[in-house]
Structure 1
Amino acid sequence: MKRDSLPAGVTPASPAASQPIASRRWTLPTWKQAWFQLHWFVGITAGTVLVVIGLSGALLVFKEEMLDLANPGVRHVPAQNAPALAPQQVAEAVRAAHPERRVASVIVYSAPGTAARVGLAALPGQPRGESVYVHPYTGALQPHLAGEAAFEWIEFLHRWLLLERETGKPVTGTLALCLLGLALSGLYLRWPRNARNWRTWLTFDTRLKGRSFLWALHAVAGTWALVAYLVFTLTGAYWAFDVVRSTVDGWAGVKRPPREAPAKASSRMPGGQRAKTMPVDLAPAWNTFVGTAPGWQMAFLRFTDKPNDPIQVAWLAADAPHPRARGAMTIAPDGTLVKHEPYAAKSAGARALTTLYPLHIGTYFGLPGQIAMMLASLALPGFAVTGWMLYLKRRRQARAARTERARLQAIDGAAGPLAMAAVAPVLVAYASQTGQAESLALRTAAALRSSGTPADVRAVATLAPRDLAGYGEALFVASSYGEGEPPDGARRFARLLAERDDRLPGLRYAVLALGDSAYARFCGFGRALDDRLAALGATRLFAPVEVDNGDEAAVARWSAALACLGAAPLAEVAAGAGAPWQSWTLASRTLLNPGSLGAPLHEVRLEPDGDAATAGWLPGALLELEARHADTVVQAWLAQSGLDGRAVVGEHTLAGLLATSELPDADHRFASAGACAAVLKPLAPRRYSIASLPADGAVELLVRQVRHEQGLGLASGWLTAHAAPGTAVRARLLANPGFAPVDADVPCIYIGNGSGLAGLRGHLRARVAAGRQRNWLVFGERQRAFDSLCAREVQGWAATGFLPELDLVFSRDGEGYVQDRLRARAGLLRAWIGDGAVLFICGSLQGMAGGVDAALADLLGRDTVELLAAEGRIRRDVY
């Protein structure tokens, strides 16, 4: 057992440390540590989004009051010594102003001077109609409420995080449960010894400073807000999860009516005339209501214009215990009372359900309750800030403790050997995912050797940080992978270097960093490597050189800088070069997931033209293609800019150049088409995993259609929607060494999700063609009914023995994710790894790949995972 995994207070020399692991008890401090880790992890992940929900919720608590403050005289007018208009008069006033709209509801109030509210039926295709306010004495329509749209947006943010309703509900519900977990785990973690003393719970010493002050403030404020957070989370979960709501409604004996569908287009008579119906007369029903409920303060009448349809009335008594304690009546158009259910006559369960919303926003307890709920919501940013401060301070303290331990070990340890007198060769180390860094490293070494300078070329995966002390000069060619991460083979080296405390004062070094500026952490690993070496006392030979997508000018700067080591000029390098650009034809595309909750996923088939017919590729290879804007996008830009797209510039029309370029600001006025063409920058090419083999006669891609605020994604939209079959596509084949096949009959485990099946399918087809049967596919998607991608082909492999292990995981069917299935089959995974299996991981970087990495680390150990990656037995193609 490692020293750092021992329980607090137990040293290796203690009796507890010598006991067998199986005999030790899971003690309370260990449980508390586990809860602590869970509390801060949820706090620094979900806590950020909870801040948004808290701030928006605080604004919504006093929504009505703020709207009235911003709109004086709209919803409340000076009381007059005259009777207020009856609902029928209010409805007639609105019909006169909007004869083309149907009045669907009227809300009136008994309080003098309160405007009536009229609901108009939704227009065809709209989810709901709008409301207008009516002067209670004159019938004049009141102005629209300023700020109402803003509050609707805030409510949309608060309830669904600006996502679609059915998508946002479970997200906010999960966040509510996270808040519940934070509240309860925080309560457990701060449980004081003197729990019966209320002062211990609700007060703290303001003279505290530093971390003690932050912890006391965090804990005591959390205790004050605990009840509010329990109310928030439980009521939020009720609205977010349909299964919770139906279960609670069942316990309460309440049956909800089905949700109304969006309004359909109204019927029309022959000749295009709209079929007219007579509006219902509300007077008889209103007279019945007033006679039955004389002590009302609010009445909400809902009705249709269909003959004989009853009028539904929800009403609030003057002595109602809270704003949602409403009774209900059903009254026929002729005034006959069909059904009467006062609030007091409802079942206890039904009355309890009406309290959920007033409790959630605090109106159940009046103004004090609203203030309390608003303050609890506003406290969430404070918890996030103090929580982060505590977390970062703890991390700094841990680093300081490690430094002190290292100093003690250095004092106790023997002195290192004297430096060698002989000059060591220059180390040229590379960290490569796709082979670009390796190619540049080999050329760098060749330039050194050609001038008589010895050079050792080594992959970072074969190095340990202590090896650097044996070199006087070291050159690092470092690719970044994904969002600035080290390549798979360099992950272990990067971790060990970050943990290293021994300094490297005798090392002179330089870094050539490869990256893509489209990512937020451009050249992230190269920069981190340079910073870490400098922090360990190494000396820069020259400033880091950063290469953006194979920029040859940057490579030339690297070549010139190497002159300080006497290197010859670097041979001409086209970083990232692959096969030449060729012409392909978009032969067909097939939608693979009709009806899916996810974005459409198409199989796109590209057939070679001419010289492309001789092209070949290995499984796992990539296709890099030139994307194009849709014609509608280019024409819209031309219309706004005032330029003629038919104007010829060189060998192309302006429209043709714009289609393959980043579009300039259309508001900028160019003097001519040539002036516009002179500033155009070509679109960055897009890369896709190839899902087929050369023997299939075509390149097949699995392309997920991306959609954003401006419409469809550039490349995915062009391939799946805009480009017609038969369109020529400029593309080239790229090798992908980090995801290359294994040239041996060893077990292979293929793990992926979504469009990541593309990179796995090519490998599996090659394995089947070679007769190699020890294959295991773990693949995840949303719903089995709609997202069983390439199901016939996959099931065929399983039926013929080429997939003896097949795990298809569908998350929306409640089956979890691929990482969950790996954990469930941990024994088999370890057995396959023990037999020499190679893992291929293809799919989304943020969700699936990170989850799989964490699962592998838990099941195999982080050191084992890094060793497998360094040996090339974990190969990834994630994006």
Structure 2
Amino acid sequence: MVIGLTGATLAFREEILDALNPGVRTVAVQSAPVMAPQQIMQAARLVKPHERVTSIILYDTPGSSARVGLAPAPGERKGETVYLNPYNGALLPELHYEGFFEWVEQLHRFLLLPRDPGKMVSGVLAFCLMGLALSGLYLRWPRRVWDWRTWLTFDTRMKGRSFLWGLHSVVGTWVMVVFLVFTMSGVYWAFDPIRDMADGWMGTLRPPRDAAPKPKTPKADKPAKAEAADLTASWATFEQNAPNWHMAFLRPPERASAPLQILWVAKDAPHVRARSSMSINQQTGALLKNELYADKPVGARFQSTIYPLHLGTYFGVVGQLIVFIAALALPGFGITGWMLYLNRRRQKRIARAERAQFAASAPAGAQDDPVLMAYASQTGQAERLALQSAAALQKAGVAVHVHSLEKLTPPQLGKYRRALFVASSFGEGEPPDSARRFSRLLNAAKEELKHVQYAVLALGDRNYAEFCGFGRTLDQRLAVLGAQPLHPMIEVDNGDAGALARWGNALRGLMGNDAAEVALTAAADDSDYASWRLDQRVLLNPGSIGLPLYEITLTGAIGEGWRPGALVDIWPGHYGPDAAPRRYSLASIPQDGSMQLVVRQVRCERGLGLASGWLTDQAAIGDEVRVRLIANPSFDAYPQPAPAIYIGNGSGIAGLRSHLRARVLEGAQRNWLIFGERQQEHDAVCAEEIRGWRAQGFLPELDLVYSRDVTGGGYVQDCMRDRADTLRNWIADGAVIFVCGSLQGMAGGVDDALAAIISRAQLEQLTEEGRYRRDVY
């Protein structure tokens, strides 16, 4: 963090010094010619008569001061630098605040330690930063490697740990390359063996540092103030051979007989360290050596880029700005990393406390023979009843293990002596999506379950031909495997209170007949419902040959909101015990500021449907609506970034639209919508919104299918078969499939089409992985 802050301070060191010292390193541009090096030398001797000039730096930029370096005083490592007016040689003011930046540089490079140990500490820290950067890259490696949005964007609306992780990981990706440049250049400078090895690769290896210095030849006595040679001829030779020079660094030797060394940078040089060099005879002006930067070996040229890359000057002001931001981000990573660490510790502490509390509440000595309470739930009702049942058993002193069938296997089931199942059915007697894996494994199992006693509470709706189909299948299969029923299977029709009372009596058998009566209810408490206002009602399919389809908008207190794909229970008409709630898919997300539904008006012999008729026709704008949000985990957004395929028809656009709106806000662009209706002219629901998503790049694949058009558009499953190759490619890329709409026809047809395209086994695997999600009715 200290190195990052000091690095950010040094990123614009020269620009800051110039801003704090106006009129020192630059002066007002004049029409007069600038002074030559010989004139600069003479002017320096006038203002510093007792000092020896060791260097002169000149720039061809109009108004740039001449920088004159003086020999260090005895015992000092560095001499003074003075600035002279390039037009008249006048001494300019001293450069202030340079000492502060030199102190910051020592802190940055050596942490204010002595030079050699300071280099070692900085080098170790550079290695540590390299490890943090590369391990962070590994930890956030996404499934969609080639999707730049996955790497470089995150949802800024997230809160808590999710926001911190998004900020930490995404910004870390932005600056990853810069950090690697920092660390590699820092290691290069810090460790002499590494630097020697690298210099050897580049062909720029220096003489050994421990080599004995050459003995100095005794010098003959000479006048104390020997006059140096005139620089005029040498400068003329330089200008003749370097007409495009931008910066020239002259090092006048002590003896007039020694050659003049000039390092210079061309105007078209790739960076500020791209230096060429000349050696010129001071007496005659003859050119002794002229080494151009472009003629240097590749290794030497690469070595010269290390410092400009570290500073960012290799890419000009833009590079400096990038380095400044990256260096400034280092303290930010320290802060966010520490906060993430504290959050993780807090979550572990809470989890330990909850486990300890659960263990403390368990009856003594009962853990040796726990009861398994397993549930198969599509919309949460079976889970609710399973938890109520488990709580009642535990309150009576019976140890209970509660598990979803999603993760349970037959061998795990065989470890229990008593097992209770609360199983809802889906569609035409099928297992819920989360239980399909367990159902398949149980059908293939050969385990002996003669030691297991079991009971099944089957939830269903008699309006379906296969009433309680999965519960019945589960009961029969357990019997085939030898399990013994504690009591006959209990079937529950739409939360029938009598059936639930029989289940409560069965639980009392496990608790002991003298236990208190168990009260179970499939209905929600009144406190679970909230009052919302019917705010708007819009007909989406005027002129359609199908039943009217309405967008219903409700306004109320959003609170913590809901997840994409969530459901809502609606009490039709005035709230009372004679009414029954109806469930709808939410077509909006909390960020919309309202709750939106897409409701198909139902008509039967008795007239309009109870809930759909009230919402679409009978209720007045402004009427109160009692609603209850229902989590829908089987149709929730996938927990990891992945492409998404949305398939549906009719009012199924509701569940798909909530997901797509959330994806648009997240910036997730790889989405595919396959949606079917009757006629494009009348049934193009949400067409404007869909066109907008398409235009913005959020629907790179879009198929709208109209079955009753003159052209004979077919159905969504037909479209899927036509586009089978593309579907396979998307699935291979990790796509998640969401299906929402009518069970009859569409959902079954989509399921069969997918099985034909990718095989039934692979479709089952997608279900187990949570990549095949359905909300059908």
**Structure 2 length normalisation: TM-score?**
0.49
Q: Which of 1 and 2 has greater Rg?
A: 2
**Structure 1 length normalisation: TM-score?**
0.43
